[in-house]
Amino acid sequence: MTYLDWVVEHTATQWWHDSADPGELELGLRRGAIGVTTNPVLAATALKSNRERWRMDVDRALARGLPAEQKAEALMEVAVTRAAEQLLPAFRNSCGRSGFVCAQVNPVRAADRDCMYPMAKRFHGWAPNIAVKLPATAAGLDVLEECVAEGITVTATVSFTVPQVVAVAERHRAGSRRAMARGITPGKCFAVIMIGRLDDYLREVAHDSHPAVAESDIVQAGLAVTKRAYSIYKEREYDAVLLVAALRGAHHLTELAGADLLMSIHPTYQEVLVLQDFAHDLRIDWPIAEDVVRRLQQIPDFARAYEPDGMTPAEFLGFGLSQRTLGQFIESWKQLESLT
């Protein structure tokens, strides 16, 4: 039994495949993935490597002569719906409890409610197992609540912090109440913590400002944030599900083992978790050492990420890591816009 098998069979943790490439996804499904993460980066990569395989769909999208933004959306649809087809049996067999595939709205529009809302409704119509991916910004949260109230399943992305995932869960709860008051089944909600991106970002901040924070502290920053968020979710009995993404090592799974959450695991780390063995310990309740947290709190952006009231929704978009991540997503979206 591989470590990944042990996690699935003996803990509450389940996982999604972090790639839109059909060959990689097929292997991920055999390994036990129950959902798929896509984003503009992953979609653009999959389209480039599968251009011949998907030629008819890609050529059809390009032949429509759409404006750049709409062309990128049509190309995204190719990659996302192909993945959705592979997950549709799991979605149907689970009666809609699993088998979801993410479809991310245009990252350029992260502050534009009026644009993201109709885009979310379009993406929802692509396949029955779509989880529309919205940014955890003030505008994105507004759209998220509206979608949940209409029965649309959502994933909150560009999210790295306790205040963000708490805000996501509260807006999911509000949207669910509105849906039920109207006799509608609320949309599900997956609240992302991009755990490794937080570590990457704080590593650079620490290097720049020279606080007494060692690498051994930095690699526990995302874990500290995730464990705190998880305890709040359990205490407040949120229905939103934490989805830990952007792993940077096996420790991001092993140190959270036993948690009732989802992990999004790229094929690179699937290989590690399949080929190497790790101690079969349920570590989600093992706290991060207080002295580690104290040193990390010398970095103001860690404190903003760790404290439940560290930021307001109006500050989410301006958070340095949000801007960095959106920039990367925008670059990949622009690649889709320029595809010929």
Q: Which helix (H) or strand (E) holds 231?
A: helix 221-236
pLDDT in tens, 30-48: 999 999 999 999 999 999 9
Task: Judge contact between 144 and 173, C-beta under 8 A.
Answer: no
Which pLDDT score is estimated for 212? 82
Phi, psi of 54 (to 5 degrees): -105, 25
Q: Where are the domains of the chain?
A: 3-331
Tell me which DSSP letter residue 107 carries.
G
Structure tokens at 267: 């094929």
Q: Which helix (H) or strand (E) holds 133?
A: strand 130-135
| 267 CB-near residues (< 8 Å, 6+ apart) | 17, 18, 19, 24, 27, 28
Task: Judge contact between 75 and 336, C-beta under 8 A.
Answer: yes
Measured in whole angstroms, the distance separating CA 228 from the mean position of its chain's CA atoms is 18
Query: Looking at residues 67-92, what average pLDDT do you find?
Result: 97
Mean pLDDT, the chain, rounded, equals 97
Q: Which helix (H) or strand (E) holds 131?
A: strand 130-135
User: SS3 letters for 134-154?
Assistant: EECCHHHHHHHHHHHHCCCCE
Which pLDDT score is estimated for 54? 97
Least confident of 25-34, 177-186, 204-213, 232-241: 204-213
Which pLDDT score is estimated for 273? 96
Which pLDDT score is estimated for 210? 74
Which pLDDT score is estimated for 321? 98
pLDDT in tens, 122-159: 999 999 999 999 999 999 999 999 999 999 999 999 99
pLDDT in tens, 193-227: 999 999 999 999 999 987 789 999 999 999 999 99
Longest dimension (CA), the chain: 59
* Structural Rg of the chain based on CA atoms: 19
Taking each helix axis from N to C end, the angle separating 138-149 and 162-181, rounded to the nearest 10 degrees, works out to: 30
pLDDT in tens, 103-126: 999 999 999 999 999 999 999 999
pLDDT greater than 90 at residue 171: yes
Question: What's the topology of domain 3-331?
Answer: TIM Barrel (3.20.20)
0.85 exceeded by the pTM? yes
Which pLDDT score is estimated for 209? 87
64 burial type by CB count under 10 A (0-12 exposed, 13-18 middle, 19+ buried) = exposed
Which pLDDT score is estimated for 15? 98
pLDDT greater than 90 at residue 61: yes
pLDDT in tens, 290-304: 999 999 999 999 999
pLDDT in tens, 257-276: 999 999 999 999 999 999 99
pLDDT greater than 80 at residue 94: yes
Which pLDDT score is estimated for 195? 98
Query: Looking at residues 269-289, what average pLDDT do you find?
Result: 96
DSSP of 17-33: EE---HHHHHHHHHHT-
